[in-house]
Amino acid sequence: MLVAAMVTATSCGVDDAPEVREVGKEQVTAALNDAVQLGYPGAEAVIDDRGHSWRVTTGVGDLATGEPFAANARVRIGSNTKTFVATVVLQLVAEGEVELDAPVERYLPGVVHGPGIDGNRITIRNLLQHTSGLPEYAAEFGATPKPWQMEILSEQARWQTADMSAVLRTALTGPAAFEPGAKWAYSNTNYAIVGMVIERITGASVGAEITRRILEPLGLRDTYYPAPDETDMRGPHPIGYTEVSGRRTDYTSQNVSAAGAAGAMVASGADLNRFFTALLDGRLLPPAEMAEMQNVRAIGESGTMAYGLGLMRLSMPCAQDFWGHSGGISGSITYAGVVPATGRAVTIALNQDFTDEARSPAASRALTAAVCPAP
């Protein structure tokens, strides 16, 4: 059943004439309404233009109550987690604790080996840029089973705390997809291993390092890395829906320990905008490491996408480059990042994880509307 669109728009900031900065609000609203009409329960866009912030919500955050997305709503951000993790690694590079072109074997002796897989030939750079050739450890995201898997796997998998060492041992029994550096192929296994490298070097958990190095310095109070056994979401949040055996299901509560460094985090749109703005402004990494992060490799056939070290560059229709990431996990889809040329930061969040060809483009259209506003 399609949900009647409920549209709200709010703004805050220091601009005396906010309408000047809210260019594109009509297009963003229309794009999010289209997403709801295609079947998403609800959607939110949070826009920041160098000191002025505004948001648009459509549809609902809760189908049972009809309530919209709450202000500062938190969502599971999936693979946007990778940018936080890559930032920590590059900080360790700046501190002399990690070398980008060193083999992973140096940091995790005996761990990364399998059919055609040799940790002496796979570098930290390969892992961060998805050029390792390592097999995928999850069907899509390293978290709870996707809907099509639920008919095979026990419902208990949704609540179990993962032993990532065991998960990776199983994954690495699969053959390498290609020689390290030969190609680009997205694999969550890369970031699961990177998370282990961070923990081995620092002696602290990935979540603790992200909190200490990024969340606390930037004051990101609505962002967190869940504890291994945590299933419920903290603070205000929409219900996250997925389809199980063809039926829309509340999947908000889940154990995301298997997503780990590849996709476990929770954040608000405002916090994601602050993070990506700080990152692209050079407040989290020295210039040399920031340049490495933005040293991209083209991906896909369209020529519009390129991937650096945990950071993606999208060439938008308005001839602007959007630097950020996307994320999906059972219950949500998010796009987040910044247009450095204009300073506009954008987060788009939807509270269902549709991946079919008919509905998925709705989210990217909303991103385009936010990044490429027309007066």
Burial 218-228 (b: 16+ CB within 10 A, else e): bebebbbbbeb
Asked whether 194 and 85 are in contact (CB, 8 A), the reply is: yes
Determine the Cα–Cα distance for residues 351 and 47; give it in Å rounded to an integer. Answer: 18
Catalytic residue among 11, 53, 79, 360: 79
d(CA 347, CA 369): 12
Burial group, residue 114, by CB count within 10 angstroms (0-12, 13-18, 19+): middle
Check if the beta carbon of residue 79 is closer than 8 Å to that of residue 327: yes
Let me know if 17 is exposed, middle or buried by CB neighbors in 10 A (0-12, 13-18, 19+): exposed
In which residue are the tokens 């796979």 written?
Answer: 122
Cα(95)–Cα(289) distance, rounded to whole angstroms? Answer: 11
Which among 277, 342, 298, 10 is positioned nearest to 131, based on CA atoms? 298
CA distance 82 to 127: 11
Give the whole-angstrom CA distance, residue 218 versus residue 211. Answer: 10
Q: How far apart are CA 26 and CA 28, in angstroms?
A: 6
Task: Tell me, yes or no, if 253 is annotated catalytic.
Answer: no
How many CB atoms within 10 Å of residue 156?
A: 8
First to last CA, the chain: 34
Catalytic residues: 79
